[in-house]
Every structure is written in C-alpha cells, then in structure tokens.
Amino acid sequence: MIDELLAGNKRFVAGEFKRNELYYESLAQQQTPKVLWIGCSDSRVSEEVITGSRPGTIFVHRNVANIVAFNDVNISAILEYGVVHLKIEDIIVCGHTRCGGIQAIEDGVHENYIADWLCIASGAKDRADKIASENNLSREQKLEVLSAENVKLQIKHLQNLALLKNMRKKGPTPRIHGWVYRIETGVIDVLVDGCTGKSFPDIPGLS
C-alpha cells in the first residue's frame, strides 16, 4: 500500500500539481482557508472529496466520532489558530452515517481509551434513546438519529468554550454549522444552518 501511495503522489505532481502550478505556488506562500472542519477520523469521509473543495480551502480537525472535548488541548489550539489567526468565520461539525464510533456509543465498548473518549457523547445517546422510543425507530434509524444528536451535542460543546463565547459576544462569527454525511448516498444533510440558526429534523420524515 505504501508504494501505491507514493506512486499516487507522482501522478499528482505530474498531473494536478503541474496543471495548477501557480495555484500551488500561492498556497506555498500562505494558507487562507474559509472553513474549519471538525469531522470523524473515518477513512471513508474525506472532507475535500465530499465537498468538491481544493487544497487550501478547509482547515481540518478529525477524531473518533467528531467530538469536541473540553479538556482536549489539540482541538483548543486548532480552534484558536483557526478563528483568531486565520480569521475563519465558519465552523462545520460533520458526523456521518455507518459510523463505528456512533455504533460503539449505542452498543457500548470495553476498550479503555475508546470508552473514555466516547463517554463525552453520552448526552447524545440519552436524547437518541428518547427519540427512538417515542417514534418506534428501527436500529438503523436510531443510529442515524444518534449521529445527528451527537453533532448537535458537539455544537453545544463548541458554543460553551470560552474562546467562542467571548468572540460571539462581539459579533455573529464564527458561525457554527452541523452536517451529517450519508456514506451510502454521498449526500450531506444540513442539521444546523449556522447562517440562519435554523435546525432541521434528525432524519427525513421525523419531526
């Protein structure tokens, strides 16, 4: 596999990079991304591919189940660099369907570090349990709801961080958006529109 990756880099240099050399030269001088992406580490969810974006557009943080942890120095540093120094005005929290982390939140997990990490999303499971019970949802529907509720919970975590709370006191940015990417169809569902503040149902047809 490593040889394939290096061969792919050679094709990239000879093709995409060479055809757009001036663009990549400008990127070498500085980056001016427009969006900060907080997504899942899942190998099937490539933010540039699923949004049709070019390198230099998205500033990225990814972890298991797209979680925003209060004690995570990594995400705190990324947020500060992104919104303070890069002046990014839009943050996207993007979950996805068929997520192993979401399934582990639902079913439980025994590995120590994974379990400790996923407990940060326990509030999303409480909410999904209630919705599933009230609407007699199938397991697949419940997992979709859990993915969505986790995105909404992580947005709340973001909104409670002092950095963002203080910035929002001074103006409307950074705007925070909530998305779920459907691996099975390639479609992105918008859960929270950061520009209007409007929220949408967790799964189609569920009010």
Average of per-residue pLDDT values in the chain: 93
pTM of model > 0.75: yes
For the chain, domains (ranges, CATH) are 1-30 (no CATH), 31-192 (3.40.1050.10)
Residue-wise pLDDT tens digits, 61-97: 999 999 999 989 999 999 999 999 999 999 999 999 9
For residue 196, list its beta bridge partners. Answer: none
Q: How many residues does the chain have?
A: 207
Sheet strands (E) in 41-187: 58-63, 90-96, 175-181
Q: Cα(71)–Cα(68) distance, rounded to whole angstroms?
A: 9
Residue-level pLDDT at 207: 45
> Any idea which residues carry the catalytic annotation?
40, 42, 44, 96, 99
CA dist list (Å): 62 to 74, 137, 176, 202? 10, 29, 16, 22
Q: Judge whether residue 172 has pLDDT over 90.
A: no
Q: Judge whether residue 171 has pLDDT over 90.
A: no
